[in-house]
Amino acid sequence: MNLLFKFKKTTLLIIALIMVTLWGMTRLSSPLGDKSGTQSLTIAKGVGASTIAEQLSALSKSSGGSVSAFEITALSFITGRSGDFKSGDYDINARNSLRSILDKIARGDVAPTRVRLPEGATWSQIKAALLKADVQHNAQELDVKQLATELKLSTPSAEGMLFPDTYQYRRGETETALLARAAQTLQTKLSAAWDKRAADLPYTSPYEALTMASIIEKETGTAADRPMIASVFINRLKTPMRLQTDPSVIYGIGDTFNGNLTKADLQRDTPFNTYTRNGLTPTPIATASMASIEAALHPTDSKALYFVARGDGSSEFSETLSAHNAAVQKYQLNPIKSATTAAP
């Protein structure tokens, strides 16, 4: 009798175990809810598995599901995940299986966030963009020289040394870690482009080409004009003539520039004033897009030495000073606004 009782008890336990296993497998492979789309789940630091289970249960119900907090707690324990959950912000698709969602939280596969480093942006403008991102702001006090040191760049300045793009980051990542990726991306792309450059260019290094690209970026109103703008500046370097580009003057003025470029500004000498100094600026003046880098390395074959904005974003290009002056009269009421004025 005793033996029979023990046998029945063992059998019942085995049956119960099988039922629990089948239930667990079914529940784990089932979706959290029925609604498609991604929902946000924020798990605070230090919370336990039961609290996370309650959050997931609430998300299940809001998504048309019916998974209870008790079930999630039990399944977390059964799968050995209950002590592995990591804090952070997660993108949860309720149609994914509960197992995949628990695995995701255990891995700490938090939702990436994004920040845009714009084309034609200076370091001060990039800092402003980063300030809005959920990162550790450890670069806000750095100037372009200090940033170059921090990122271990071989250039004297970090200006223009970050590739403009949209970057994913994890919340709490440092600004310098994100910027290091942007700097490495630029180096990779610039090196590849440099290797395929056109012949007979007036650059001694990829850095000089990047400096030219940054000027092209700031001067371009219409994308199609980039190779011609590059041609003008390259022709001037070869002639030689001063570049006489307004964006370089504005960069040299710095944060005190009030938006109104005057004749006095053009005559005020700074290392970046290409009206008073020969050759390229000592560093890039902004971030350069891949299109501007390509234009700097593959300019249009032309004899143009001048260009002036038409007012619709495009430019009028001229080979002679007289033709340029006529274009200025036609398109600009004030010649001081012209994109590249007469050479000295």
pLDDT in tens, the chain (344 residues): 565 555 566 666 666 566 655 555 666 767 888 887 778 888 888 888 889 889 988 988 888 888 888 888 887 787 777 778 888 888 888 888 888 888 888 888 887 788 999 999 999 999 999 999 989 999 999 999 999 999 999 999 999 999 999 998 887 889 999 999 999 999 999 999 999 999 999 999 999 999 999 999 999 999 999 999 999 999 999 999 999 999 999 999 998 898 899 999 999 999 999 999 999 999 999 999 999 999 999 999 999 999 999 888 899 999 999 999 999 888 875 544 444 543 43
pLDDT for the residue 34: 82
* The pLDDT of residue 228: 97
Distance CA 241, CA 164 (A): 30
Spatial distance between the Cα atoms of 173 and 213, rounded to a whole number of angstroms: 30
Question: How do strand 166-169 and strand 306-309 relate by DSSP bridges?
Answer: unpaired
Outline where the chain has alpha helix (H): 2-29, 49-62, 69-78, 98-107, 123-131, 144-150, 175-195, 206-219, 226-238, 246-253, 263-267, 290-297, 321-331
Please, are residues 287 and 120 in contact by the beta-carbon 8 Å criterion? yes
Taking the C-alpha atoms of residue 341 and residue 307, their distance in angstroms, rounded to an integer, is 8
Q: Are 67 and 57 in contact (CB under 8 A)?
A: yes
C-alpha separations of 256 from 251, 253, 265, 268, 296 in Å = 10, 6, 11, 13, 29
In this prediction, residue 10 carries a pLDDT of 65
Around 194, how many Cα atoms within 13 Å sit in the side-chain half-sphere?
18
Q: Judging by beta carbons within 10 Å of its beta carbon (0-12, 13-18, 19+), is residue 145 exposed, middle or buried?
A: middle
What pLDDT is attached to residue 8? 60
Q: Do 227 and 299 form a contact (C-beta atoms < 8 A)?
A: yes
pLDDT the model gives residue 39: 82
Domains located in the chain, CATH noted: 28-107 (3.30.1490), 113-192 (no CATH), 196-337 (no CATH)
| Residues making up the chain, counted from first to last | 344
pLDDT of the residue at 69:
87
At 49 the pLDDT is: 84
